[in-house]
Amino acid sequence: MRDPKRIPEILNELKGIWSSFPDLRLGQLIINAAGMWDMNTMDAERKLYYMEDEELIKFLRKHYSEVTNVEPNKPKLQNKE
């Protein structure tokens, strides 16, 4: 079972990224970034479905910092590696 304490941390991270792009709806925020995946290897929906929460936040942060050359909120998640 995943730790339920991760939810507020992850939502806080998502809030930081999303607040940097307030004109986007949540679905747009995620789908825009998901469109960057190579669709030949695995479709975006499947990859998103199996992606761990921390991995998704890192991916969103990286994608939106590359798009704007501005780094959204710095990572606050603990590295579990």
- Is a pLDDT exceeding 50 seen at residue 81? no
How does pLDDT run across 5-61, given as a tens digit for each residue?
Answer: 989 988 888 888 888 889 999 988 888 877 766 555 556 667 778 888 888 888 888
Residue 25 pLDDT: 93
Please tell me which residue, 3 or 48, carries the higher pLDDT value: 3
Measured CA to CA, the distance from residue 7 to residue 35 in angstroms comes to: 25
Residue 4 pLDDT: 92
Residue 13 pLDDT: 85
List the domain boundaries for the chain. 26-71
Interacting residues of 73 by C-beta distance below 8 A, sequence separation 6+: 13, 16, 17, 20, 61
Q: Which DSSP string do the residues of 54-81 spell out, in sequence order? A: HHHHHHHHHHHHHHHS---S---SPP--
Residue 73 pLDDT: 53
73 touches 61 (CB < 8 A): yes
